[in-house]
Amino acid sequence: MKKYICEVCGYIYDSELGDEDNGIDPGVDFNDLPDYWVCPICSFTKENFSELKDTSE
């Protein structure tokens, strides 16, 4: 599953983990997050996130 990084604070949203502190269950894809969801660290919106590229290859 893809990970997304907040370009403001560096928080990484990992869909395998979700964001249970804010009611997002594990397995919820970033694109399926509700419109009201914001970064749990800096409170910026989803528009401030970008896909984290896998550099392990």
Q: pLDDT digits over 28-51, tens only?
A: 999 999 999 999 999 999 999 999
Q: Which CATH number fits domain 3-52: 2.40.110.10, 2.60.120.10, 2.20.28.10, 3.10.310.30?
A: 2.20.28.10
Q: Per DSSP, what are the bridge partners of residue 6?
A: 49
- Distances from the Cα of 48 to the Cα of 9, 12, 39, 52, 56, angstroms: 10, 12, 9, 12, 24
Average pLDDT over residues 5-28: 97
pLDDT recorded at residue 1: 77
pLDDT recorded at residue 36: 95
